[in-house]
Amino acid sequence: MEYLIFLNKFEFDNKIFIDKLKTYCNILDYNFEKNKLLIETENFNEEVLKMHEISKVIQLKTKWKKLNFKNLKQDSLNAVTKFNTYIIETEFQNKIPISAKSIYHHVNPYLKHENKIVDEENYECILYIEFKKEDKDVYYKVGISEHKMWNKIKPVDLKFNDIYIVLEEPRLVEEISDFLRLCWIFKTTLYIMTRNNNRIESLLKKAKEITKGIDYEKFNLKFIPHLSKDFIKVGFSKHSDKNESDLINFFKENEDEKICLVFGNDTYGLTQETRDDLDHCFRLTPELKKPLKANQALSYIFGIYAAIKL
């Protein structure tokens, strides 16, 4: 049997990786293909998914074949025969005059006739179809991957819907970049509070350029001139007499309220006007001489909040 192993994008030694892989499988042959590894084995062990180098695994059902849609549809049906629901994943090694959408239009109706249903939310398997062009001919191969083999990472789905983040008058590109990344990861709204939109727009543009992997069309980012009265406004200071225990109790007592976490820039902190407008203030960590930077404090608070929600 042949398996196509998708590799995570970080540096590792191929020989050491293969030696580790052999502790799980009796590998008869193997070949590295860019970010993938093709192996032939008689005893594939799903325990290989524990290896950090591996992203996902596909069992190949065909070798490379010259493209014929009748054969492609039958090979697809043979691949999903044990399952009722599926989705299709396509990969193109090079440019060919065929789109993923056209593949769906050929394959899905054929499988539907055999009571195989596309289910984007609760699919049992992934039908994998890869294409390549050699000279003037197009070739394909078909594989199958069960849900657990395709989605090995099972992140905890924590909701931060009632948490909003405010960064007041940031002065550095890196400050904004750090907050963009954190708010994107934890799916929270970021408000930048400023009286000088033009200055912040310039910093924000540079921050977006260095902060990769964020879909800014979907990112909820707004400019505001002052804090809203619609939120419970929470700030952080090394001079506060309330600590993390008080913060935990506050989160528990206000779990259904909209909470706004307010941070100043790393140079001057919050302005006097903003400090006076806060509803609550907490101290983070016992350290007084070297308090956390704003982005570090936000990460720390996200961790506290997540622990409460788990």
Question: What digits encode the pLDDT tens for the residues 12-48?
Answer: 889 999 999 999 999 999 999 888 999 999 889 989 9
**Percent of the chain whose predicted confidence (pLDDT) is above 70:** 100
Global pTM?
0.71
> Torsions phi, psi of 36, nearest 5?
-135, 160
Q: Which helix (H) or strand (E) holds 279?
A: none
pLDDT at 55 over 90: yes
- The superfamily (CATH) of domain 163-309 is SPOUT methyltransferase, trefoil knot domain (3.40.1280.10)
Residues whose CB falls within 8 Å of the CB of residue 10, separated by 6 or more in sequence, listed in order: 53
pLDDT (tens digit, 9 = 90+) per residue, 247-283?
999 999 998 999 999 999 988 889 999 999 999 999 9
- CA distances, 308 to each of 114, 164, 200, 223, 292 (Å): 47, 17, 34, 30, 21
Neighbours of 229 (CB within 10 A): 8
pLDDT at 93 over 80: yes
Beta carbons of 283 and 238 less than 8 angstroms apart = yes
Pairing of strands 36-41, 27-33: antiparallel
pLDDT (tens digit, 9 = 90+) per residue, 97-145?
899 999 999 999 999 999 999 999 899 999 999 999 998 899 999 999 9
Q: Is 79 exposed, middle or buried (0-12, 13-18, 19+ CB in 10 A)?
A: buried
Domain ranges of the chain: 2-150, 163-309
CATH topology of domain 2-150: VC0802-like (3.30.2130)
Helix locations, 69-196, DSSP H: 69-79, 100-112, 147-150, 173-185
pLDDT at 74 over 80: yes
Beta carbons of 165 and 82 less than 8 angstroms apart = no
What pLDDT does 266 receive? 86
Q: What is the DSSP letter of 291?
A: P
Name which of 33, 37, 30 is nearest 54 in CA terms: 37
Radius of gyration of the chain, Cα coordinates, nearest whole angstrom? 26
CA angle 296, 301, 306 (to 5 degrees): 130
How many helices and strands (H and E) does the chain possess?
9, 15
Amino acid at 75: D
Treating both helix axes as pointing N-terminal to C-terminal, what angle do 294-309 and 173-185 enclose, rounded to 10 degrees? 10
What pLDDT does 235 receive? 96
